[in-house]
Each structure stands twice: as C-alpha cells, then as structure tokens.
Amino acid sequence: MVDTTGRTIVIVGGGTAGWMAAAALRRFSPPTTRIRLLESDRIGAVGVGEATIPQIRLFNAGLGIDEDEFVRETQGSFKLGIEFIDWSGRGSRYIHAFGTIGRGLGLVPFHHYWLRHAQAGGASRYWDYSPTALAASRNAFARDLGRPELPSGVAWAFHFDAGLYAAYLRRYAEARGVERTEGEVAHVSLHGETGHIEAVTLQGGERLAGDFFVDCTGFRGLLIEDALQAGYDDWRRLLPCDRALAVPSAAAGPLTPYTRATAREAGWQWRIPLQHRTGNGLVYSSAHLSDDRAAEILLANLDGAPLAEPKPLRFVTGRRRRAWVGNCVALGLAAGFLEPLESTSIHLIQSGIARLLELFPTDPVSPADVDEYNAQTEREWTAIRDFLVLHYHANARPEPFWAERRALAIPDTLRHRMELFRQTGRVTAREHDLFKEPAWIQVLLGQGVVPQGHHPLADALPADQLDQLLSLARAHAAQVAARMPAHQAFIAAHCAAP
Ligand code: FAD
C-alpha cells in the first residue's frame, strides 16, 4: 500500500474533467491527501459535452450518486443510443442502441443466427432483437418494470446540461473537502533536476504547490503541453472535422430518449434533448464548409427557436502523445479530442480517472506506471478512433467531403475489421475495446457494410428451430419495450427538474 500521507494533488481546470477528477479523487484518495482545484471564471469551461454512454453509470455509482437526483439536478434525460440519419445517403436511418441484442441461441454469437436467417430471405432487422432500440423508437423509457427479468438487454446513459453537471460535481466535491481556488495561471514552475511540476503561480501572485498535478485546462493543455511538452498526435487526416457551432434551442416535441446525429454536406449535426432545452451543434470541416454556411445549415435545421447565438469552437482531432508526464496527468480536452460523434469524451475522462486510480502515483512516481498508463491510453484512444472513422468512411453521400472520406486510406486495423465482417460476418471486439460487438455490428450494418456470409456453426440449428427461437427473441424484445412508459412520463414521475 502506498503511503500518500500529507500529499497534495492540484487539479488545474474546473470544467467537466476537473470536477469529475476532483469528485473521484476525493472519494477514493486517503483522507490525508489534500485535493485542490483551480479554475478561472474569466476563461470558463467549454460548455458543451452533454451526451454520454452507459459506463457513466458506473462512475456515478462509484461516487454514490443517486441517479434520479442526478437527472433532476442537471435537467437531464435518459439516452438509449444515437440515431444516425442520412449517413448512408438521404433518407437512411439507423440507431446505435446500447445494451445487448438478441440472446444466446447456440455456440456462436447471436448475430450469426440472424445473418443466416436474413441471408435466407428472413425479413427481420437486427434491431428487432434489441429492446433498447425498440424502446427508443417508441420514445419510451424505464429502468425496471417491477419484473427485473424483463428489461434484460436494456442499457442507458444520460443527456445533461454541461454547466449544471460541473456545478453538481462541484457541490459534491466541495462538500467532501476539495478546496477550490479561483484564478488564472500565470506561470508553471518546474523542478530543476526532475523536470516535475513544483507549483503553479496565479496572476495575483498566489502559488499553489503540489506533489501531483492533473491538467484539466481544456484544449490548450497548459501543464501537459505548454510546460511539459507531451506532444500531440494530429488525427485530422482521419477525423477531418475541426470546428463546431453549438446552439441551444427551445425544447419542442416529445422528449426523445436518444441523441440524434444527422449527416450534413461537410460534417454532421447533433441534437441532444434536455428537460429545459435542446442542445444542437454542427460539427464540420473548415476545409469544406465556411463558418457562415455552417451557421446557415445549423439554424435552418433546429426544431425549436434558437435561444442564443451559435457558439464557435475550434479543435484539432487527436491525442496527447503522453497523457502522463512526470508528476502530471492530463484529463479531458487537455488529453486530446476525438470529436463528439459517439459521445466518448466524457467517458475518456472517466476511464482516465479509473486508470489513474488503478496506477495511483507512488512517491516518487514510478516510470513503469507512467509507461503503463500511456500505453493503455494509446490503445483505448486508437480503438475509439477506428470506430469513429468507420462512420465517415462507410458512407454513401454524394458531396465531395463524403467522397473523400470513402476514398481515404483507413488504418489497417479498421480495414481488417470491415473486411472480416463483409466476408464472414465476424466481429472481433478486443478486451480493451470500449465498443463491443453489438455496437460494431449496428454501425457496420447501418452504414451499409453487408456481410456475405455467416458463421458456419450457426447452420447447426435446424431451420424450423431457428425461426422459432428468433421469433421468441423478437417477441421478448418487443414485450420489454412495450411495457415501458413514455420517456417524458418516466421523467415526470421520477426526476423532473423543478
Ligand atoms: P474545459 O471545459 O475547457 O475546461 C477547462 C477548465 O480549465 C476551465 O475551468 C477553465 O477555466 C480552466 N482553465 C483554462 N486555462 C486556465 C488557466 N490559465 N488558469 C486557470 N484555469 C484555466 N463529450 C461528450 O462526452 N459528449 C458530447 O456530446 C460531447 N460533445 C462535444 C461537442 C463539442 C463541439 C466539443 C468541442 C466537445 C464535446 N465533448 C463531448 C467533449 C466535452 O465537452 C469535454 O470532454 C468536456 O467538457 C471536458 O472538457 P474539459 O473539462 O477538459 O475542458
């Protein structure tokens, strides 16, 4: 057991990353570890980042957060997946639903049985076996229906107001002893021999010294890059969108339990339903679309009145080459940004925190821990990158931006996955992959990658038995979804914001 008595951890930055780190480090560090957080009111936080994936429920559970209170306090809603519109041509539509799909029918994964049935002319869709997808299509949501066996396969995440989320975590963290300082870093002092960070000095002269630092300063990476020069892998060749415009609009229509991502001429538009407003944004490539045209597209495609001027954001997709350098770990945008298509950034904060807790810094810091942290981070980010590139590459849209994405030389790892699926229907999600088989299958199918075969062992089941089992699996999924109340009604009953 590492003796951390009397050590001080300084978190620089108080956006989503800073406050998630503060809450978790306070919750899990020894009480003798002092946790300080510095943030600048003048600079503020990026203020976007409002859609999540189901793993966040583990983070909340770790902190002991009550889910209904959390949704209420953040004006949140529930998220069953992401609906993709117009990605493989106008009028196309599919959902990447969370949770499991189908059930065990034999030795090989479920989708091979469905593929066998579909390849023999069967009419059902893969999504007919997903209670989560069916619930989303009905705008329905429930956690359990009084019969715990029923919602099996359903998984959910949240949409929330980013500002309210940071404020919620701040209350959590401060109530448990995290010390917040307001101010702006003017200087970062490094130790002459080790090169480790000794302290940050604020513009007013105050000095915050620490044993370990967490850089949560956003895109700039004030500590990890400006001071420690970790380096940045620029992934714009693969993920070319480099700007976004974000605008809230008045809530309109039923509260949908999913994020929507609609492909546009040189990027895509998000729609995130919250209780008090809808979050919208256009993510686009500045090489293919002017800012004025981007604003025009965004504002022409809102389903409620805009509540503010669109907020411009610029970024370079990629990752910090070393997320841990010396006595500093970068989390959040300071560690990199993969673009928001599959809502992975907040998750990457969470997994960075989990990794930091697992490799909690010894005193002095062990170089082997640092290497391990960085190697794990690289694997994780690269696998997510490939998943995102798939959405862009396997498209069927006519515009130059999309034609370029189709023609692009993609990473060998992704090319192999696509070929494997196309030829045999196989998907090999690896242990460290965030996205598992059902996610890959939905996006591959949804983007128009159609397998020519299926696992030969799926043929072991007699045809009449296969039809019967598939029909039972469909009925089960439909039954689960049909028992759920409307998402709006669920929120009204359990977690409506005042
Ligand atoms: P920031 O919010 O930028 O916070 C930086 C903090 O550092 C602030 O408190 C600031 O005051 C402080 N700071 C900076 N400089 C100094 C200084 N000199 N002195 C003192 N303090 C300083 N993620 C998702 O998971 N889902 C999404 O749907 C999603 N959508 C996104 C859409 C867009 C267009 C973008 C750009 C990002 C999106 N993200 C999304 C990512 C998500 O917004 C971020 O991962 C998340 O908000 C964390 O940001 P952060 O805390 O790292 O940085």
Predicted confidence pLDDT, tens digits, the chain (498 residues): 444 568 999 999 999 999 999 999 999 999 999 999 999 999 999 989 999 999 999 999 999 999 999 999 999 999 999 999 999 988 999 999 999 999 889 899 999 999 999 999 999 999 999 999 999 999 999 987 655 555 568 999 999 999 999 999 999 999 999 999 999 999 999 999 999 999 999 999 999 999 999 999 999 999 999 999 999 999 999 999 999 999 999 998 899 999 999 999 999 999 999 999 999 999 999 999 999 999 999 999 999 999 999 999 999 999 999 999 999 999 999 999 999 999 999 999 999 999 999 999 999 999 999 999 999 999 999 999 999 999 999 999 999 999 999 999 999 999 999 999 999 999 987 878 899 999 999 999 999 999 999 999 999 999 999 999 999 999 999 999 999 999 999 999 999 998
Q: Which two tokens mark 243?
A: 């700007």
185 is in an annotated binding site: yes
Q: Residue 242: CB within 6 Å of ligand 1?
A: no
Structure-block tokens of residue 326: 């010396």
Annotation: CATH topology of 8-50+161-234+317-365: FAD/NAD(P)-binding domain (3.50.50)
79 is catalytic: yes
- Within a 10 A sphere around the Cβ of 24, how many other Cβ atoms? 23
**Was 333 annotated as part of a binding site?**
yes
Supply the DSSP string of 382-413, one letter for each residue: HHHHHHHHHHHHS----SHHHHHHHHS---HH
| Cα(270)–Cα(291) distance, integer angstroms | 17
The alpha carbon of 282 and the centre of ligand 1 are apart by a number of angstroms equal to: 17
- Residue 430 has what pLDDT? 80
Q: Where are the beta strands (DSSP E) in 173-331?
A: 179-182, 185-190, 197-202, 207-209, 212-215, 232-234, 243-249, 259-264, 267-273, 278-284, 311-314, 318-320, 324-325, 328-330
What pLDDT sits at residue 148? 54
Does pTM top 0.90 for this prediction?
yes
What's the confidence (pLDDT) of residue 151? 53
16 lines ligand 1 (CB under 6 A): yes
Active-site residue (options: 26, 36, 79, 426): 79
**Which pLDDT does position 2 carry in this prediction?**
47
Compute the distance from residue 387 Cα to the ligand 1 centre, in Å.
22
16 is in an annotated binding site: yes
d(CA 200, CA 210): 9
DSSP designation for 140:
B
Residue 96 CA to ligand 1 centre (angstroms): 25
Which atom of ligand 1 has the smallest separation from the CA of 45?
2
The response to whether residue 318 sits with its C-beta less than 6 Å from ligand 1 reads no
Give residues with Cβ within 8 angstroms of 145, minimum separation 6: 151, 480, 483, 484
The verdict on whether omega for the bond into residue 364 sits within 30 degrees of 0, i.e. cis, is: yes
Provide the pLDDT for residue 179.
Answer: 98
Distance CA 83, CA 139 (A): 12
Does 346 belong to an annotated binding site?
Answer: yes
Query: How far, in Å, are 250, 279, 394, 490 from residue 140 at the CA level?
Result: 21, 20, 30, 8
Q: Which residues pair with 261 in a beta bridge?
A: 84, 270
**Helix 345-358 / helix 367-393 crossing angle, nearest 10 deg:** 160
